Amino acid sequence: MPMPPYPLHCYTKSCGKPAVYKIAARWSDGITAELKTYALSCPDCLATWFRSSRAKQVACRRARGEILEPPGIYDLERGKRDRALHRRADLEEQLV
């Protein structure tokens, strides 16, 4: 796999470590669907980002016909399409 031009960093401002996870939720309005990114995180900050992302999703207002699933944790792999990202249900269970 080619090296990315620049590393992606954890969203925690004071952290600065490389991000290895993506917290994202499947969203759809019935016509198009996408993975909405909530945060990129290093392993240390993952629990914080995961919980705040879930809380944000619960508080999010949806329009009629709009679907927003609870955010999940995905392995962050540059250059892979969202659909191909590996979901880490094992980590999600530990952090709920």
Distance, in Å, from the CA atom of 19 to the CA atom of 16, rounded to the nearest integer, reads 9
Binding status of residue 42 toward Zn ion by CB under 5 A: yes
Min separation Cβ 35 and Zn ion, Å: 21
Binding status of residue 45 toward Zn ion by CB under 5 A: yes
Min separation Cβ 75 and Zn ion, Å: 16
Distance, in Å, from the CA atom of 53 to the CA atom of 23, rounded to the nearest integer, reads 7
Binding status of residue 10 toward Zn ion by CB under 5 A: yes
Taking a C-beta distance cutoff of 8 angstroms, is the pair 34, 45 a contact?
no
Distance, in Å, from the CA atom of 70 to the CA atom of 60, rounded to the nearest integer, reads 11
Contact range with Zn ion by CB under 5 A, out of 10-18, 49-57, 61-69, 76-84: 10-18
